[in-house]
Amino acid sequence: MNPQVAQLIEVLKSLQGEGAPPLWQLPPQDARLAADSMIGAAFNDGGPTMADTQEIEIPGRRGAIEARLYVPEGAGRSSPGLLYLHGGGWVIGSPDTHDRLTRELAAAIGARVVSLAYALAPEHPYPEGLDDCVDAARWLAAHGEPFGIDAGRLLIGGDSAGGNLAAATLLRLRRETGPTFRAAMYLYGAFALTHDTPSMRAWGDRDLILSLKVMEWFRQLYLGEAGVESDPFAAPLNGDLRGLPPSVLAVGTLDPLRSDSELFAAALAKAGVDVELHIFDDAPHAFAQIFMLDMAADAIARLSTFARARL
């Protein structure tokens, strides 16, 4: 195993504390607090300084949606805009947990980033969080200009559950007549919502950041008893992917969701979408926001290169 990854495992164990229950044994509210504390301590230090950071509210169908706007140095009066959807299994996570990752993307792409605090399950089960993402995408295209966002140069991205939501948002927007995005960035997304994949069988019981038990807990809280695993807006791999924007995917070889990215990349290519898939050796789930790993900077560079070429 990569020595940096071995060191990471020890760091996460020390932050979690001996005898602490795993996330899937906690009430969702307690799991959020635990994740916020652990991720904030391990993942967010350092990184680029922004020219400006603002807390904003985006009108949605159920009321205001909180978001954070990052403006990188040198962005000028107008720049591309990236709608970023954080990971966390649709249950945990926030703009806070992904603060450094979104700052890194803003600086590397030269884009203003809107990091969305979409509604979380189980208080807001499927499709409420997705509705927030769709509403935010529409708002970004229609009202981003006063915030310095060029509506003609929009990007969307997300990691893990956020990758799922980014793909589902694009499918919804295509059905609901736009807006359109120049490119999509997916970090180790959950596209299939099935546990019968080669990577889940290989790594699902290893408990290396993400496990089968955690994934099942997340899925149950997000989907409830609705039985919508085949719904393309819940599992985008099942959707008609024709016409989606150019897409770049990144995933690690130690990730239970590796197969999701491989399957989704193949389905995008079959649908005629311009797609790149980058697989990182010895990388666990969530590696792109863990900057003690050299591979995190590599992933940011590859994603930003892809995005900038399509703006």
Dig out the tokens for 41 from the structure.
């301590």
Query: Is 302 in contact with 290 (CB distance < 8 Å)?
Result: no
- C-alpha to C-alpha distance for 250 and 243, rounded to whole angstroms: 21
Helix/strand/coil for 28: helix
Q: Where are the alpha helices (DSSP H) in the chain?
A: 3-16, 28-43, 99-109, 128-143, 161-175, 198-203, 212-223, 258-270, 294-308
Q: Which DSSP letter does residue 272 get?
A: T
Dig out the tokens for 264 from the structure.
């989704």
* CA 19 centroid distance within chain: 29
Angstrom distances, CA of residue 22 to CA of 9, 209, 210, 290: 15, 11, 11, 20
Residue 191 CB coordination number (10 Å): 26
Closest CA to 87 of 202, 164, 7: 164
Closest CA to 297 of 285, 305, 289, 306: 289
Q: Which residues are marked as active site? A: 160, 255, 285
- C-alpha to C-alpha distance for 95 and 115, rounded to whole angstroms: 6
Query: Is 278 in contact with 249 (CB distance < 8 Å)?
Result: yes
Whats the size of the chain, residue-wise? 311
